[in-house]
Amino acid sequence: MTSISANLQAVKSRIVAACAAAGRDPGRVSLLAVSKTWPADAVRLAAQSGQRAFGENYVQEAVAKAAALADLDLEWHFIGPLQSNKTRPVAEAFAWVHSIDRLKLAERLSMQRPAGLPPLQVCVQVNVSGEASKSGCTAEQAPDLCRAVAALPNLKLRGLMAIPEPAQESAVARRRFGDLRALRDRLNEAGMQLDTLSMGMSDDLEDAIMAGATIVRVGTAIFGARARA
Ligand SMILES: *Cc1c(COP(=O)(O)O)cnc(C)c1O
């Protein structure tokens, strides 16, 4: 067994244990393997162990990797900050975008989504850490942004995503994840149908699952420590 396949098994065991502790069905939490900075060969090893969904942060790197792995049936998720002038390759090559933080980005992705592909699945990224983080819209902006994104023809709004500031204490992480969950619940009570909470990474996936995460985004615990961000 390669270390990647052993690591994948270990992460899946953590997910199953966290679901048991939370009284949740492990079938409702999916694992996104974050492969940013790792070569296509590492992704191939993870795919050989049965992993299909991979998350990437950098457009050029991701597009090159997807092309090198085109023989595999993989699902690519864009999870990093996205510049408006780099949306086209993302609209063409990805299945999901988790980092929608402004309407202009969503409009361009919808316009550029090729006609033959299913709608691009998207999450609105919310800054649940206030001053401590710059990425994502504010919780106050989220309802209007969600409504506008949900109305775009070639996107399917699935839910919310957050990257809380690194917390020393579990209690802080849990509060941030709880805030995102509460926001999603409020939007659904107001008539939206958001089934996805993309939250939790290598260090805090248990807290995220406890708070209701449906996608955890895990890099380091699968591929090892990155040399760069
Ligand atoms: C890098 C990254 C991850 C994975 O983080 P790890 O701590 O390596 O698990 C998850 N989400 C986003 C948005 C990232 O940029």
**DSSP assignment string, 142-201:** HHHHHHHHHT-TTEEEEEEE--PPP-SSHHHHHHHHHHHHHHHHHHHHTT----EEE---
- Regions in the chain scoring below 50 on pLDDT: none
Task: Give the position, in ligand 1's atom list, of the atom nearest the Cα of 226.
Answer: 8
DSSP code of residue 137: B
| Rounded Cα distance, 105 and 102, in Å | 6
Of all atoms in ligand 1, which is nearest to the CA of residue 223? 8
Query: Which positions ≥6 away from 189 have C-beta within 8 Å?
Result: none
pLDDT of the residue at 141:
97
Q: Which residues pair with 58 in a beta bridge?
A: none
Which residue carries 């980005």 as its tokens?
Answer: 105
Q: pLDDT for 178-203, tens place per residue? A: 999 999 999 999 999 999 999 999 99
The candidate with the shortest Cα–Cα distance to 29, out of 38, 41, 20, 37, is 20
Q: Which residue's CA is the closest to the ligand 1 atom numbered 6?
A: 219
Helices (H), the chain: 3-22, 40-48, 59-68, 87-93, 103-112, 142-150, 170-189, 205-210, 220-223
Domain ranges within the chain, ordered by starting residue? 3-221
For residue 154, the Cα-to-chain-centroid distance in whole angstroms is 19
Encoded amino acid at 162, one letter: A
The distance of Cα 60 from the centroid of its chain, to the nearest Å, equals: 18
What is the distance, to the nearest Å, from the Cα of residue 157 to the centroid of all Cα atoms in its chain? Answer: 13
Q: Which of 217, 218, 222, 228 to mutate to test the pocket of ligand 1 (most atoms within 8 A of CB)?
A: 217
Write down the pLDDT at residue 229: 63
| Whole-number pLDDT of residue 154 | 98
Write down the residue that tokens 């709880």 correspond to. Answer: 178
Which has the closest alpha carbon to 103: 135, 144, 145, 136?
145
pLDDT of residue 131: 72
d(CA 7, CA 139) in angstroms, rounded, equals 35
pLDDT score of 1: 56
The whole-model pTM stands at 0.97
Q: Return the ligand 1 atom nearest residue 202 CA.
A: 9
Q: Which fold has domain 3-221?
A: TIM Barrel (3.20.20)
Ligand 1: residues within 6 Å at CB? 34, 36, 57, 79-80, 163, 201-203, 217-221
